Structure formats: C-alpha cells, structure tokens
Structure 1
Amino acid sequence: MSLRELDPKTVHDAVQAGSAVIIDVREPREFATERLHGASLHPLSTFDPQSIPVDKTRDVILQCGSGKRSMDALQRCEAAGVAITAHLKGGLMAWKAAGLPTVTIDPATGQVIDPK
C-alpha cells in the first residue's frame, strides 16, 4: 500500500463530492471544541484499525491537529492490513490555513456553529 498525504482542498472536495469520509484521531475534548463537518471520532489513545468503518465506495481519510497523529494512525492501519491509505497533510491547522470551514462551539452560548 502506498500512504498518501492529501492537501486540505483535495480532502474538502472529496468529502463534498461524497467520495470520502474523514476519521478524526484527536481526543474527545479537541473534537468537541473544533472539528471538520461530518468527521467521525476514533481517538488515537484507543485507536483500533479494525474498528474503522471501511467503505469500498469512499476513501477513508484520517485527520488530526497537525498531521502527526493521523500519520501514526495510518501506519497502524498499514501494519494491521486495514486498507486505509490517506491522511490530511498538516491536519486541522492546514485545513484552517486554507480557509476551509470547521464546526465550532460559541463560547458565549454553547451553540454549535456549523458553516459546512
């Protein structure tokens, strides 16, 4: 398997087109504060490659805050023989630097803000 590092725009476009899903490997507190729309949480601290829902019709793309943990999770998938081969290069930081939207919580009201 060839491990792929995808740029934020490529990931965004694939998710928007319905050809990819995002698995966030950060911890629950981080995920609750800010996340990518539609991402599923599978924290690296309890990460089990076998528990990731692999959908043969869509790419599964791993994501974290900076790309370090998602690469770790990607290597764990490869070692376990799980067919997940891509992650978001630069993670959430690169996503935000590219001007792409995130789901956040308004600290004043506790309301979820999801610009999609």
Structure 2
Amino acid sequence: MPAGGALKEATAMIARDTYLDLDPVTAHGLIRDGHAVLIDVRELGEYAAEHIPGALLHPLSGFDPRALPQDGAALILQCGSGKRSATAMAKCRAAGVACCGHIQGGIMAWKAAGLPTER
C-alpha cells in the first residue's frame, strides 16, 4: 500500500477506535501531522539515552493508563522493540483508555526507517 494510503487507513482506524500495529513511517506521519501523541513506555534511563522527539514518557514499570493525556488526541505507544508497548496497549484496553496502537518494532524499527531521534 502506498505511504499515503497507509496513512489514510490508519487515520480512519483511529476514528473507529481500532488498535493497530503501526509501522514507523505511518506512525511518524500521524504524529507529525498532529493526529496522534506518542507515549514512550521505556524506562527513564532508556528515554534519556535516546528518544523520539515529542514522545511523552510513561514507563511501563509504573504504567497507569489513566495518567495518559485524555484530551481526545489519538495515542500511539512505543518502546524499544514493540513488546512493552503491546503490554501497555493491553493495559489501556483493560482500563477502557483509548489508544490507537503501538509502533511495531519500537524505537529500533523507527531508527532503521531513518526517522529522527534525540538525546
């Protein structure tokens, strides 16, 4: 699917409150265009060493879905490889907190796609 088509489909799925395994390029487009907020569920040391610009830190070790932004923005979860963010997504579902999905492959896949990080 062309990148534009994937972005359009992801935006539509967010509107339907469907959870997604997002590829990094689609997630980047949603975040860049203001359709979503990125939540980093890694630990503070990992975040301090390197993170995706604009990501909000909510470590899985103390993860409370009710502490996430509730301003109506779609939430995308992210970790190092995609495992912790999938766990956090399940916690969101159990708590009734809407999130649109997580970045499949985490920050490792984000960097492999050539997308920006900061220290």
Q: Report the TM-score, using the length of structure 2 for normalisation.
A: 0.83
How many aligned residue pairs are there? 103
Percent of aligned pairs with the same residue?
56
Kept in 2, the 8 Å contact 1:71–1:87? The answer is yes
1:73 equivalent to 2:88? Answer yes
Following superposition, the deviation at residue 83 of structure 1 comes to: 1.0
Give the secondary structure class of the aligned counterpart of 1:38.
coil
Between Structure 1 and Structure 2, which shows a larger proportion of helix residues?
2
Query: Alpha-carbon deviation of 1:15?
Result: 1.2
SS at match of 2:93: helix
Residue 12 of structure 1 aligns with an amino acid whose one-letter code is H
Gaps of 5+ in 1: 105-116
What is the aligned-residue RMSD (CA, Å)?
1.1
Q: Could you tell which deviates more after superposition, 1-10 or 34-43?
A: 1-10
Amino acid at match of 2:71: D
- Aligned counterpart in structure 2 of residue 25 of structure 1, from 33, 36, 41: 41
What is the alpha-carbon distance in structure 1 between the residues aligned to residue 30 and residue 18 of structure 2? 19
SS at match of 2:77: strand
Corresponding residue for residue 50 of structure 2: 34
Runs of 4+ with >6 A deviation? none
The CA distance in 2 between the partners of 1:25 and 1:52, in whole Å, is: 11
In the alignment, which residue of structure 1 is the partner of 2:25? 9
Q: Deviations over 1:54-86 (max 9, x none)?
A: 332x31100000000000000000011111131
Q: Which residue of 2 aligns with 1:108?
A: none
Unpaired runs of 5+ residues, structure 2, are 1-16
TM-score relative to the length of structure 1: 0.85
Whichever residue aligns with residue 104 of structure 2, its letter is K
Partner of 2:5: none
Structure richer in strand, relative to its length: 1
Greater Rg over alpha carbons, structure: 1
**Structure 1 residue 19 displacement after superposition:** 1.1
Corresponding residue SS for 1:60: strand
